Chain A
């Protein structure tokens, strides 16, 4: 990962939005453009808004293309493509002064005094002429866009070929015709090019273009997960859809169950039987799954759940983003049962945190909940292809005794440890050990038959409600959390920004990029800010967070919800006074919004002005 101020500047940094009505091919136009950019070795970062319904309603895709790491969606648009008047009215205020507007003159009438380069593209008409149907207008727009940014036509043609190959030669032909007619129209009209993207600069690594959801599915695949159970729920469904495509190819099994409770139950069963199991869902599904979460904690089976958070509560805003399931993930359950809560910060991080989630689950035998959200789940971004020859398979005995600090260039995969010969002699499934982790036998091993019960039980698994036993087994289960929290000291959390900065920002999950850019913007204005973004939200990396907090005068906690769940968590653990910066609008927080918060805090002179913030 690149750090420091230098990386913030780059030569190509271009923001495009395509907007129209759901069903017009808006999203696929943007998606194809993004993939083409990724194939020409640019970094890409996208954000989508689907209408909640299949057809009609506002749909848009925003794409940022850069020749260096991208941390956020950016702010004002360099180029806007609109398919209809409604899309124009809703998004024109986002266009930069002097930006470029591409519109369908048949559907949109821009005011003549608009401070922008106006490029009329009769996409409906061109599509009809080229293919005999209006359905190809998004591909016409893609062709014209390709001309506008001087992307090689061949790159787009290959992509369109790949994309439509499954639909037959006729469809490919139609779409290629549409693409070329858009490209040719822009050339005939003498459009002035706004960018030069044809300049291929191979960097020796290949870029996948993945959504956060796809990254999770691939992470699970690489981690050795071969069982998934799920019930469809927006915006998490693409994780399961991806697995249903990939698993049958590698003898993995993906079961669509009748509801979320059945899904998590099946995963508990599969994990008990010895498989690494994944359960993707979103908040309302996690809420149902809490029924089974404490069973997994109690019988100590490894389990990975992913909650792609959406706007809540209740049915809420299924297609929008929010970070409001933190309390549910950390505390939502009857009784007290340990689980780990992780939060990836980006699409790429979703891949690596998924592998880490499986490692933690297998190593410590408990449920791991990974909190992502709609904004990283559905966003597509470039992810460098990892070198899979650098994967080391470890069983959890080895991981426990030998591997203290993972080697950065290798991906360690932790597999379940079978009982050793010594442990087999007097097998106790829930044996009390120094780190709380007991040998786990998979069915089929003779002499290890054990009872896994949700009732309080002894080391051997037999039910026992005596006071001493309940206390000792509660200690055993929670000892794992203490060991995990201590283990963070071996892998310090990164802290960005100058060590003497008096203002610090703590964030979690998808706000990482926006906070990082806000820090750069603040530095440009002479305000120094430190930034910490823990991946593990429970158990807390206690010592490291308190070391971070203690050197600061002001702590800003940034999150996308109404009540400040992470802030409450931090305040409860560390007793600090923190300034809460929330956004609860269903859309991601922007660097500018965070910058405004930083500027206000920098100007704070007394307690009263904090209260007014």
Chain B
């Protein structure tokens, strides 16, 4: 495998996505991002959950784990903790990330585990043919809300800000070049990076492409990604829907935190900081 011009497509498996699906765009965006960073395919792991977005890991010729619904984040946390040398991408839909797996998000943020998490938000359960999801707006008619959805939609970015995710961006599958740039930045970010990708479903549209195209607008140029309260204000805006990097700060990654534990444990164990042998650890139980 040549790393000069890596090819990241697993050609033997054909996508199950509908024609015109935004996920094709995201797939190209990820390929471009990995290519521009020259990450070797064998050093990359893609972990995904269930749904249309879950199939994402099938189509990239990297090490890939297509797991259960909602658990992509904790699985990826295990991969990255065991092997900090790997580049780990996590892909989830709105159901994966905010419904069944919504409880895992704050904890990945607390650990600041060095993952790039792509939330492919199409505001519906597309693979199972159009049920309402955590980001389906109130009143929206779906297969499971024939008289209109009785619940509010979750507002994704303010949640990520409240959890203090260390890199937060939004993009859409309409703009592949911009998306690739943002994903590149997210992969490069040392820590937990979440990219909220608006990618409307063409078959069960909740927010149709046309409406999205009219509402998206880049973040104001003067916005500083270190300014959390400004980011919060912009994140709450429903029209325009801002795209770009809302928030980016540096804090120690999980790997750094665990290496620190290792060093302090050794220091407490012996003045010279020498690692103990297994027999000497067992002798402590006499």
Residues of A within 8 A of B (CB): 38-39, 206-210, 214, 218, 221-222, 227, 229, 246, 248-251, 253, 255, 257-259, 261-263, 265-275, 277, 291-292, 295, 299, 385, 388, 443-455, 460, 462-463
Contacts and interface: CB of A to CB of B under 8 A. Distances in A.
A250 B106 CA distance: 29
Contact of A269 (B41, B43, B47): B47
B145 interface: no
B42 A273 contact: no
Contacts of B76: 269
A277 B81 CA distance: 11
B196 interface: no
B13 interface: yes
A218 B285 contact: yes
A229 B106 CA distance: 17
Contact of B285 (A214, A251, A299): A214
B238 interface: no
B187 to A, nearest CB: 16
20 contacts: A221-B281, A251-B275, A255-B111, A258-B103, A258-B107, A265-B77, A268-B67, A269-B76, A272-B45, A272-B75, A272-B78, A272-B79, A292-B71, A446-B1, A446-B42, A447-B1, A449-B61, A449-B62, A449-B63, A451-B66
Given A208-B285, A229-B78, A443-B43, A262 B65 contact: no
Contact of B63 (A246, A450, A454): A450
B81 A253 contact: yes
A271 B65 CA distance: 12
Contacts, number: 184
Contact of A266 (B43, B68, B78, B261): B78
A447 B42 contact: yes
Interface in B64-100: 64-68, 71, 74-83, 85-86
Interface stretch (B27-35, B212-220, B241-249, B262-270): B262-270
Contacts of A253: 81-82, 258
A206 to B, nearest CB: 6
Given A209-B285, A443-B63, A449-B61, A266 B75 contact: yes
Contact of A274 (B47, B82, B106): B82
A444 B42 contact: yes
Given A39-B286, A265-B71, A268-B67, A227 B261 contact: no
Residue of B1, B61, B74, B262 ringed by the most chain A CB atoms within 10 A: B74
Given A255-B81, A265-B67, A266-B75, A448 B282 contact: no
A351 B40 CA distance: 41
B223 interface: no
Given A250-B278, A272-B63, 12 more contacts: A246-B281, A248-B261, A248-B265, A250-B276, A257-B107, A262-B77, A269-B47, A273-B86, A274-B83, A443-B86, A449-B41, A451-B64
Contact of A208 (B86, B276, B282): B282
Contact of A262 (B83, B104, B285): B104
B12 interface: yes
Nearest to B63: A443
B10 interface: yes
B279 A388 contact: yes
Interface of B: 1, 10, 12-13, 40-43, 45, 47, 57-58, 61-68, 71, 74-83, 85-86, 103-104, 106-107, 111, 258, 261-262, 264-266, 269, 275-276, 278-279, 281-283, 285-286
Given A227-B82, A268-B67, A460-B12, A273 B45 contact: yes
Contacts of B78: 227, 229, 255, 265-273, 277
Residue of B71, B86, B276 ringed by the most chain A CB atoms within 10 A: B71
Contacts of A453: 57-58, 64-66
A188 to B, nearest CB: 33
A124 to B, nearest CB: 32
B177 to A, nearest CB: 26
Contacts of A259: 103
Contacts of B269: 249
A271 B264 CA distance: 26
Residue of A206, A270, A272 ringed by the most chain B CB atoms within 10 A: A272
Contacts of A258: 74, 103-104, 106-107
Contact of A454 (B66, B278, B279): B66
Contact of A270 (B13, B41, B64, B82): B82
B30 to A, nearest CB: 15
B72 to A, nearest CB: 8
A519 B50 CA distance: 54
A259 B57 CA distance: 25
B42 A299 contact: no
Given A250-B276, A251-B262, A274-B83, A451 B58 contact: yes
A272 B74 contact: no
A451 B286 contact: no
A211 to B, nearest CB: 10
A273 B261 contact: no
B280 to A, nearest CB: 10
A454 B67 contact: yes
A208 B78 CA distance: 32
Contacts of A443: 42-43, 45, 63, 79, 83, 86
A257 B101 CA distance: 14
A292 to B, nearest CB: 6
A207 B282 CA distance: 10
B65 to A, nearest CB: 5
A446 B3 CA distance: 11
Residue of A292, A444, A445, A448 ringed by the most chain B CB atoms within 10 A: A444
B286 A207 contact: yes
A440 to B, nearest CB: 12
Contacts of A277: 78, 82
6 pairs of A and B residues whose beta carbons are closest in the complex: A269-B78, A266-B78, A248-B265, A265-B74, A270-B82, A453-B66
A262 B43 CA distance: 24
Contacts of A448: 42
A274 B45 CA distance: 12
